[in-house]
Chains A and B, each alone.
Chain A
Amino acid sequence: MKPLSLCLVQMGDKGLEMVSSHPKVLPKEVLNELTYKSMPMGAKAGEFASSSVGDLFYSSYIFSLPREGSRDNICAIIAVFNDMKYNIDGIRKIFSFLIKELETNTLLKLDLIEEILPNLYNGFSKGNIRIKISSVATITIDFENKTEEPIDETNVLEDDLWK
């Protein structure tokens, strides 16, 4: 279940904007189209959508991003694939789990998500993800067990370089 690329979209002052993508392999036109298609009209946080852009396929998870001194923003994390042979429900579970864990640890910040995109992408390739999100919190997701909820290993200090 290796995606072609992972992307991050947010609502900017003028409209939806692509914050980041990893790896940067998608043409500009695809990124532009993806920016608007990833968050359909009337989309709300917690919603999940899958569709196509040209010959590519994608799944996006929409979430609310807390902002200090301002209202929450709306964002989407997207996985783009070459074909439809990927586990859509698995993607939904991974994305929703990741966002929930970041929120629980008050680490739901755009720059942090941007920072962990490469790790997340590598994890998709390897079949499991282990992302250290703070000195005491690590998110572990095992893709092989696609039907189960991802494993929450937050606060597990084993193998913790910060110990």
Chain B
Amino acid sequence: MSFLRNLFKRRTKEVDITICGLASAGKTTIVRYLETGQFVETQPTMGINRGETIKVEKLEINIFDLGGQDDFRVLWPEVNENSNGVVFVVDKHDAMKFEEARLAFQEIVKSQIHEDVIVLILLHKNDIPGGMARSTFIQDFDLIDLSFKWACYETSAKTGENIFEAFRWFFDQLMEESS
């Protein structure tokens, strides 16, 4: 039995992922959707929420949901530098904070994460009509020149739109990277 357990353990890889983005972008709502499969109302994150460990096939995924307010961003580098994957959430309707989001994202990819980290960018709150188009966003957010393995999806944690697809891609990359 212990042999089987050891064998299983060896095949199961533990990875850490961080969920970043500005305040009210929808980070915690996405984490709660992943945990429960449904939309859950949330409150602002006080610093860091250590979410449930999600088991997907051969991965045990520890989720670190980071508070998006200015004052909490000093915590990001330490968590991000130990991370195997980063999910960056952007509210596609918050045009006023787009530049701030872009700068925060550039800071992460330039100085906080290793080169083999998988990056998933979510253009979130897609259930509300309008907002920035994905193609414009990719260009304006300087994603084209990104040297990381990355993908960008338009998502909604209210309707569940593209959440599965986005994280399927993300977890597949993490599995590939850790095998």
Chain A interface residues (CB < 8 Å from chain B): 11-16, 39-45, 64, 70-74
The stretch of B43-51, B81-89, B115-123, B159-167 in contact with A is: B43-51
Which residue of chain A has its CB nearest to the CB of B42? A71
Contacts of A41 in B (CB 8 A): 46-48
Interface of chain B, helix or strand or loop or mixed?
A: loop
A19 to nearest B CB, angstroms? 15
Number of interface residues of B (CB under 8 A): 15
Interface of chain A, helix or strand or loop or mixed?
A: loop
Cα of A45 to Cα of B41 in the assembled complex, Å: 13
Contacts of A72 in B (CB 8 A): 41-43
Residue B12 lies at the interface, judged by CB distance under 8 Å to chain A: no
Contacts of A42 in B (CB 8 A): 46-50
Contacts of A40 in B (CB 8 A): 46
Residue B176 lies at the interface, judged by CB distance under 8 Å to chain A: no
B37 to nearest A CB, angstroms? 20
Chain B interface residues (CB < 8 Å from chain A): 23-24, 41-44, 46-50, 69-72
Cα of A85 to Cα of B42 in the assembled complex, Å: 36
Contacts of A43 in B (CB 8 A): 46
B91 to nearest A CB, angstroms? 12
B69–A14 touching, CB < 8 Å? yes
Cα of A149 to Cα of B48 in the assembled complex, Å: 34
Contacts of A39 in B (CB 8 A): 46
Cα of A39 to Cα of B50 in the assembled complex, Å: 17
B43–A16 touching, CB < 8 Å? no
Contacts of B42 in A (CB 8 A): 71-72
Cα of A16 to Cα of B71 in the assembled complex, Å: 8
Q: Which 5 A-B pairs have the closest CB atoms?
A: A15-B71, A41-B47, A14-B70, A15-B69, A11-B44
B44–A73 touching, CB < 8 Å? yes
Contacts of A44 in B (CB 8 A): 43, 46
